[in-house]
Structure 1
Amino acid sequence: MVRYAAVPENPAKSAKARGSYLRTHFKNTREVAKTISGMKLRKAVAFLNDVKEHKQAVPFRRFSGGVGRTAQAKVWGVTQARWPQKSCEFMLGLLKNAESNAEVKGLNIDNLVVRHIQVNQAPKQRRRTYRAHGRINPYMSHPCHIELTLVEEEKQVQREEQQLVQKLSKRRQVRARVQAARAPAATA
């Protein structure tokens, strides 16, 4: 069994999946992973399918050099975003694998949340490109390792509705105290 970076609190209520040496760009995959982290499984799958169809964009926050701007990035509070097809394909495959692992464990698929997701750099693969004047430059690929954990969330207990208490500013509080102190003196 391979060691994961994060250990779930309750292993019986979680499902894991991982991929190693995946031929997809590390930087793009990292941004996709950061975006779907914390999402429910169904929402994450729908989001990735929307990205493939260019209906939604993945915000690029860390590796944003040279990334174009798009109006679809406004949803995430940034200006730069892209639609990394291959990274989304690999991520969908891992989510599907983790979902299958959850079904085997008997977990409720609708309550699964992406609790942990991590993308690491894998060893680069070398090729070469031929340049002018007989020179040769490296032509490297940047593959990655991905691991993720889905956790079945407990049902949220609703908080008891409390009476809304109007908060007063300091000046109003002092004024109310002074009026309360004067009121008994006036009646006496």
Structure 2
Amino acid sequence: MFGLSFQRLILPVPHSNLQIFLCPSPVILNCVKKKPERHSGNLQRWFATHLIPRTPQNNTRETAQAIKGMHIRKATKYLKDVTLKKQCVPFRRYNGGVGRCAQAKQWGWTQGRWPKKSAEFLLHMLKNAESNAELKGLDVDSLVIEHIQVNKAPKMRRRTYRAHGRINPYMSSPCHIEMILTEKEQIVPKPEEEVAQKKKISQKKLKKQKLMARE
């Protein structure tokens, strides 16, 4: 449609300060939107969405939950370790038939795996979001994965031919991935106010003061 020379197309959304960037890959949509103002100043969010990646939904969901809330540098290192089998992904929900793993102890769990394909997809999304956030002037070193969500996508159907004229389905379970990166707030400690220490007054003295007030 756009030819081989297509680089980037910006689509402004009417009645909004939102812009959608179409990248060369037809399945990735990225956009930037400002967060509401707070007492500490303006924060910015970076949205990254990957539509129908060819990776299992169950494995991707467990991997996404493992990196939720992580700093972008820590998440990148963790996903690289998963591909090299140095760290595992704890399987908490879709754990039927998942074997036990010693590396899962650091997560307070017993079952874990190394979903390489899911880790590579999420790693690609992090790199994409990081480079685009840097282009927009966000502080990359303070980006945190505030939100990540994996939803089921329509199943893709194939078929295999069996004996006696039978046909069995080959179904894949792809997913939609949604990720939001946010600049981490700098927490400024509240100055300690000098609280005047109240002197303790004895019960006897209180009664005396009440009598004096009545008189």
- TM bucket by the smaller chain? 0.7 to 0.9
- CA RMSD, aligned part only? 2.4
Q: TM-score normalized by structure 1?
A: 0.77
Conservation of the 8 A alpha-carbon contact between 2:156 and 2:173: yes
TM-aligned CA deviation for residue 16 of structure 1: 1.4
Structure with more contact order per residue of length (Cα contacts < 8 Å, sep ≥ 6): 1
TM-aligned CA deviation for residue 102 of structure 1: 1.1
Q: TM-score normalized by structure 2?
A: 0.68
Partner of 1:71: 102
Conservation of the 8 A alpha-carbon contact between 1:128 and 1:137: yes
Which runs of structure 2 are paired with 1:16-27 in the superposition (5 Å)?
16-27=47-58
Partner of 2:151: 120
Partner of 2:175: 144
TM-aligned CA deviation for residue 30 of structure 1: 0.4
The amino acid across from 2:95 in the alignment is S
TM-aligned CA deviation for residue 160 of structure 1: 6.7
Partner of 1:31: 62
Work out the CA distance in 1 between the residues paired with 2:179 and 2:161. 39
**Deviating more after overlay: 121-130 vs 46-55:** 121-130
- Structure 2 unaligned blocks of 5 or more: 1-12, 14-19, 21-28, 37-41, 193-201, 204-215
TM-aligned CA deviation for residue 110 of structure 1: 1.0
CA deviation map 1:8-58 (0-9, x unaligned): 744861111111111000000000111100000000000000000100000
Conservation of the 8 A alpha-carbon contact between 2:151 and 2:175: yes
Partner of 1:62: 93
Work out the CA distance in 2 between the residues paired with 1:8 and 1:134. 59
Work out the CA distance in 1 between the residues paired with 2:191 and 2:168. 66
- Structure 1 unaligned blocks of 5 or more: 162-179, 182-188
The amino acid across from 2:107 in the alignment is W
Conservation of the 8 A alpha-carbon contact between 2:34 and 2:43: no
Aligned length: 161
